[in-house]
Structure 1
Amino acid sequence: MKNKNIRNLVFDFGTVLVGLDKNRCIAAFDSIGANEMSGYVDECRQEDLFHELEVGRIGVPEFCDEVRRKSPRCNAADEKIAWAWGELLTGIPREKLRRIVELKEQYRIFLLSNTNVIHWQRSVEEFFHFGSLGINDFFEHIFLSYEMGMVKPDREIFIKMLNDAGIKAGETLFIDDSAANCAAAESVGIRTMHDPEGLLWIEEL
Structure 2
Amino acid sequence: MAFFMMKQHQKMLEGIKNIIFDYGNVIFEIDFPRAQKAFEKLGIKNVESFFAHKGHSSLFDQFETGTISAAEFRDGIRKAADNDALSDQQIDDAWNALLIGVMDGNHELLLKLKEKYRTFLLSNINEIHLARVHQHLKEKFDLEGNEGFFEKIYYSHLVGKRKPSPEIFRQVLDENNLKAEETLFIDDSPQHLKPAAAMGIRTYLLTYPDSIRKVFEELL
Q: Which TM-score band (shorter chain)?
A: 0.7 to 0.9
AA aligned opposite 1:8: N
Task: Report the secondary structure of 1:124's partner residue.
Answer: helix
Q: Which residue of 1 aligns with 2:4?
A: none
**RMSD between aligned alpha carbons?**
2.3
Shift in Å, 1:139 = 1.4
Q: Which residue of 2 aligns with 1:24?
A: 34
Match status 1:99 vs 2:109:
yes
In structure 1, C-alpha distance between the alignment counterparts of 2:17 and 2:140, rounded to whole Å: 24
Higher helix content, 1 or 2? 2
Shift in Å, 1:86 = 1.0
AA aligned opposite 1:93: M
Shift in Å, 1:58 = 0.7
Is the 1:175–1:192 contact (alpha carbons within 8 Å) kept by the matching residues of 2?
yes
AA aligned opposite 1:191: R
Shift in Å, 1:41 = 2.2
Identity of aligned residues (%): 34
Is the 1:20–1:88 contact (alpha carbons within 8 Å) kept by the matching residues of 2?
yes
Q: How many residues align?
A: 204
Shift in Å, 1:81 = 0.9
Deviations 1:112-156 (A, max 9, x none): 111211112211221477755542111111111112222212211
Is the 2:106–2:212 contact (alpha carbons within 8 Å) kept by the matching residues of 1?
no
Match status 1:150 vs 2:170:
no
In structure 2, C-alpha distance between the alignment counterparts of 1:128 and 1:197, rounded to whole Å: 27
Structure 1 unmatched runs, 5+:
none
Is the 2:54–2:189 contact (alpha carbons within 8 Å) kept by the matching residues of 1?
no
Q: In the alignment, which of 140, 144, 148 is matched to residue 137 of structure 1?
A: 148
Q: Which residue of 1 aligns with 2:121?
A: 111
In structure 1, C-alpha distance between the alignment counterparts of 2:101 and 2:37, rounded to whole Å: 17
Residue range with higher mean Cα deviation, 119-128 or 183-192: 119-128
Q: Which residue of 1 aligns with 2:86?
A: 76
Q: TM-score, normalised by structure 2?
A: 0.82
Residue range with higher mean Cα deviation, 53-62 or 165-174: 165-174
Q: Which residue of 2 aligns with 1:195?
A: 206
Shift in Å, 1:200 = 4.1
Which segments of structure 1 move beyond 6 Å, counting only runs of 4 or more? none
In structure 1, C-alpha distance between the alignment counterparts of 2:169 and 2:197, rounded to whole Å: 10
Q: Which residue of 2 aligns with 1:168?
A: 179
Is the 2:96–2:132 contact (alpha carbons within 8 Å) kept by the matching residues of 1?
yes
Is the 1:115–1:144 contact (alpha carbons within 8 Å) kept by the matching residues of 2?
yes
Structure 2 unmatched runs, 5+:
1-8
Q: In the alignment, which of 29, 52, 67 is matched to residue 77 of structure 2?
A: 67
Q: TM-score, normalised by structure 1?
A: 0.87
